[in-house]
């Protein structure tokens, strides 16, 4: 739901009745992950997607029905379905969809409205809803903010609200969306409830060091992938808004000094395109010791070997060097800045999702990788300088 917060928030502010269908869990090769949502208003207008097209029609009908009867429902779609909604996923996966009516008189509306408003403003927030359990609990929600405060609740046992708030806060800290199992009274025993937790956090950061032509293309791709993109270069003649109009930030500063003072986290990606030892060595010495998601450095294989030796000379260990993606990118045979940016972006996605980077043709690996503990159903470096 929070993945379509901006537009859905406008609908709620306009006073529209809406129904929201949210992916709760996936199995097999389902195309969208937990948290993906489709919303329908009283006029029949739809936004978002839960399956990339496979079951949108059936989910749309469920949303229209929810707007009429006010009932929250959990429905499973996939090749094994035998009920009236057995439309099947063409990719052969299984998805569970939670459909929640958010009408003017719904007790869930104030809480979801607050969650949507926070997400639309780019603030961190997480919302918890009962996906499976007693019917009287399904029409409510609980919102948790980064400072641990929460609002809303399920109107049942008070310990349930406290436990869900604590668990949801942990999901928010990790930026995770997924499900958890809790007893009806907030303990790990008793009749189990399945709780869907959706986290909305600010966009992850991509910091591009080196204001070169390749960086301009990488900025555009980074923005397309949803990153907050910063370009950093010590040379003011190159690091300009004219050259990088799509960057969120342009910083004129020595790269390692900027990296020392700026905020990074476990989702941040660092792309070092300077391939100049006086910039690269102090920058990578610091970068390889930070808890970031990805560190890549541009350069030929000869540059890479020389740079590794320089890094060892300043105390970088082999274990730290093993984190470095260099030469940066996947082997696509890239030549142009745009092709190289695609190569780098592909490696970043593969590192994030646990992909191999190999061609899917003839492969026997999953198409969709679950790199984190979000799915609850089923099982489920080469260089281009």
Extract the tokens encoding 143: 């919102």
Confidence of residue 369 (pLDDT cuts 50, 70, 90): low
- Alpha-carbon distance of 135 to 73, in angstroms, equals 9
Q: Which of 26-30, 170-174, 192-196 has the highest mean pLDDT?
A: 192-196
CA nearest 127: which of 237, 5, 310, 308?
Answer: 5
How far apart CA 98 and CA 115 sit, in angstroms, is 17
Determine how β-strand 228-233 pairs with β-strand 205-209: parallel
Model pLDDT, residue 365 = 66
Domain containing 248 equals: 205-353
Is position 166 within any domain? yes
Residue 109 reports pLDDT greater than 70 = yes
pLDDT recorded at residue 375: 33
Domain-embedded: residue 377: no
> Do both 162 and 223 map to the same domain?
no
Query: Which of residues 178, 200, 222 is at a domain's end?
Result: 200
pLDDT at residue 385 in the model: 37
| 3-class DSSP state of 62 | helix
pLDDT mean over 9-16: 95
**Per-residue CA distances from 313 to 52, 87, 306, 326 (Å):** 50, 61, 11, 18
pLDDT in tens, 33-59: 899 999 999 999 999 998 876 788 999
**pLDDT number for residue 127:** 95
Q: H or E segment at 94?
A: strand 94-102
| Domain of residue 328, CATH code | 3.40.50.720
pLDDT at 80 over 80: no
Tell me, yes or no, whether 134 and 209 share the same domain. no
12 near 123, Cβ under 8 Å?
no
Contact between 384 and 334 under an 8 Å Cβ cutoff? The reply is yes
Structure tokens at 131: 């996906």
CB neighbourhood size of 260 (10 A): 13
Number of alpha carbons in the 13 Å side-chain half-sphere of residue 44 = 2
Q: How far is it, in rounded angstroms, from Cα 318 to Cα 334?
A: 28
- Please report the pLDDT score of residue 357 as a whole number: 86
Looking at the structure, tell me whether residues 325 and 192 fall in a common domain. Answer: no
Judgement on whether residues 95 and 147 belong to the same structural domain of the protein: yes
CB-count exposure of residue 262 (10 Å: 0-12, 13-18, 19+)? middle
Q: For residue 359, is it within any domain?
A: no
* Exposure string for 32-60, b = 16+ CB within 10 A, e = fewer: bbbbbbbbbbeeeebbbbbbeebbbebbb
Q: Is the pLDDT of residue 380 over 50?
A: no
In a domain, 218, yes or no: yes
Q: Answer with the one of 160, 176, 200 that is the final residue of a domain.
A: 200
Q: How confident is the model at residue 324 (pLDDT cuts 50, 70, 90)?
A: very high
Q: Longest C-alpha distance within the chain, in Å?
A: 70
Percent of all residues in the chain with a pLDDT value above 90, rounded to a whole number: 62
Nearest alpha-carbon partner for 220 in 338, 370, 108: 338
Q: HSE on the CB side for 385, CA within 13 Å?
A: 11
CA-CA-CA-CA torsion for 116, 118, 119, 125, nearest 10 degrees? -100
Same domain assignment for residues 28 and 119: yes
| 147: CB partners within 8 A, 6+ apart | none
Residue 90 belongs to some domain of the structure: yes
* Average pLDDT of the segment spanning 260-289: 94
Task: Tell me whether residue 80 is exposed, middle or buried, using C-beta atoms within 10 angstroms of its C-beta: 0 to 12, 13 to 18, 19 or more.
Answer: exposed
384 is a domain residue: no
> What are the angstrom distances between the C-alpha of 79 and each of 29, 54, 88, 91, 365?
11, 12, 5, 9, 20
Which of 142, 177, 200 marks a domain boundary?
200
Buried residues in 296-329 as b, exposed as e (16+ CB within 10 A): bbbbeeebbeebbeebeeeebeeebeeebbbbbb
- What is the percentage of the chain residues whose pLDDT exceeds 70? 86
Domain count, the chain: 2
Question: How do residues 189-199 score in pLDDT, each as one tens digit?
Answer: 666 889 999 99
Query: If DSSP codes are grouped into helix, strand and coil, which group holds residue 377?
Result: coil
């Amino acid at each position: 739901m929070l993945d379509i917060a901006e537009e859905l928030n406008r609908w709620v502010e306009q006073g529209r009745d809406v129904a929201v269908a949210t992916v709760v869990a996936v199995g097999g090769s389902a195309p969208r992950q937990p948290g993906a949502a489709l919303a329908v208003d009283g006029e029949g207008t739809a936004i978002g997607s839960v399956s990339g097209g496979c079951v949108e029609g059936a989910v749309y009908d469920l949303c229209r029905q929810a707007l009429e009867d006010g009932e929250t429902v959990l429905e499973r779609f996939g090749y094994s379905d035998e009920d009236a909604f057995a439309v099947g996923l063409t990719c052969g996966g299984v998805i569970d969809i939670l459909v929640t009516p958010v009408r003017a008189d719904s007790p869930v509306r104030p809480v979801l409205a607050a969650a949507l408003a926070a997400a639309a403003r780019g603030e961190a927030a997480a919302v918890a809803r009962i996906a499976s359990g007693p019917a009287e609990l399904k029409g409510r929600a609980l919102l948790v903010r980064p400072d641990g405060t929460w609002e809303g609740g399920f109107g049942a046992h008070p310990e349930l609200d406290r436990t869900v708030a604590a668990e949801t806060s942990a999901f928010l800290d990790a930026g995770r969306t997924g499900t958890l199992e809790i007893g009806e009274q907030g303990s790990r025993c008793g009749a189990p409830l399945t709780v869907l937790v959706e986290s909305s956090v600010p966009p992850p950061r991509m910091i591009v060091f080196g204001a070169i032509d390749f960086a301009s293309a990488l900025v555009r791709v980074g923005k397309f992938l949803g990153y907050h993109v910063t370009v950093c270069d010590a040379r003011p003649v190159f690091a300009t808004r004219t050259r990088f109009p799509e960057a969120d930030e342009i910083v004129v500063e020595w790269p390692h000094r900027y990296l020392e003072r700026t905020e990074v986290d476990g989702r941040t990606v660092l792309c070092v395109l300077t391939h100049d030892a006086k910039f690269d060595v102090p920058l990578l010495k610091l970068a390889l010791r930070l808890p970031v998601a990805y560190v890549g450095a541009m350069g030929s294989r000869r540059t890479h070997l020389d740079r590794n030796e320089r890094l060892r000379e300043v105390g970088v260990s082999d274990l730290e060097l093993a984190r470095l993606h260099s030469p940066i990118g996947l082997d696509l045979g890239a030549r142009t800045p745009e092709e190289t940016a695609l190569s780098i972006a592909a490696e970043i996605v593969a590192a994030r999702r646990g992909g191999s980077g190999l061609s899917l043709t003839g492969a026997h690996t999953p198409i969709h990788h679950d790199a984190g503990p979000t799915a609850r159903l089923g099982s489920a470096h080469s260089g281009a300088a």
